[in-house]
Amino acid sequence: MAGEEVVLLDVWSSSYAMRVKVALAEKGVEYVCQPQNLVSKGSSLLEMNPIHKKIPVLIHNGKPVCESLVILEYIDEVWPELSPLLPKDPYQRSQARFWADFINKKLYAGAKVLWKAKGEEQEKIIKDYIENLKILEGVLKNEKFFGGDTFGYVDVAFSPITSWFYTLEIFGKFSIEANCPKIVAWAKRCKERHSVSSTLPDSDKVYNYALDIKKALGLD
């Protein structure tokens, strides 16, 4: 790993960027964080991700890798020795990718709209959100992690959004624990890992950040 240059373009509140930080911590890879301004995007973000112009971007020895799930797979391939993330078996790998995609489409996308919505629209989003979490409870079964005994790709893909759960619950006036206790217990197990606890921001910090955005958007 000596002589490697690893840079992450991120913002602290982004669960997508947190995925990359958790994976790098699991692998023991040292890196430099370059926080980005997403309101007025800087030249390095525009150069490194000219297509989507989004964070996270991992820049490895000068070459950019974009899209958080693509970055996770890249990290797993480049640093395969420590904490393998994807299973070796092709069928198990396909399943891990399927659920990570589901988590993107349902839980990450859902969270983005849930805390800003109101009234009936919000009720419908919450109902769907709980249903999707329950589906994931069914996938987890009574395992320790989605990777079984070991913390793996789906755990890395999923755990960062739990830092937004408190914010979702306060703005949506519902309890995730009351509906999905197994997911909350799993999130606590993830938090026991240094990679996760050192990456995920405090719930209060996320809530205050979301509150400020709501005020700025005139949504409160």
Binding residues (CB under 6 A) for ligand GS8: these are: 14, 16, 38, 53-56, 67-69
Least distance in angstroms from the C-beta of 182 to ligand GS8: 25
Is the CB of 109 or the CB of 178 nearer to ligand GS8?
109
Least distance in angstroms from the C-beta of 198 to ligand GS8: 20
Is the CB of 54 or the CB of 60 nearer to ligand GS8?
54
Write phi, then psi, for 159 (nearest 5 degrees): -55, -35
Query: Rounded to whole angstroms, how far apart are CA atoms 193 and 207?
Result: 23
Output helix, strand, coil percentages for the chain, rounded to the nearest 5: 60, 10, 30
Is the CB of 47 or the CB of 89 nearer to ligand GS8?
47
Least distance in angstroms from the C-beta of 52 to ligand GS8: 7
Specify whether the CB–CB gap between 79 and 70 falls below 8 A. no
Three-class secondary structure assignment of 175-218: CHHHHCHHHHHHHHHHHCCHHHHCCCCCHHHHHHHHHHHHHHCC
Is the CB of 1 or the CB of 70 nearer to ligand GS8?
70
Beta bridge partners of 64: 59
